Amino acid sequence: MFEQVKKILAGYTEVKEITKKSQLRADLELSSFDLVSIITEFEETFDIDISDRDLSKFVCVEDILEYLELHA
């Protein structure tokens, strides 16, 4: 699952090394618009719905992985 998440995130950032501890805004320099597009890709890839409320919980890559493990 980490590899799939990393592949999606790589499409939106210039950063070459994405780790589980990478922060979405600070380290990967993702904008709010990027995050909305990324969430849409996660929803399609993992066949889940992610609410706007849950989106605010995603600070680092590990947060996304934990969410997907619980909901996918």
Predicted local confidence at residue 52, as pLDDT: 85
| Domains of the chain (ranges, CATH numbers) | 2-71 (1.10.1200.10)
For residue range 47-64, list pLDDT tens digits in order: 999 998 898 899 999 999
Tokens of 6: 């990393």
Global pTM reads: 0.90
Angle at 61 between CA 5 and CA 36, to 5 degrees: 70
Give the integer Cα–Cα distance in Å for 42 and 50.
8
Percent of the chain with pLDDT over 90: 88
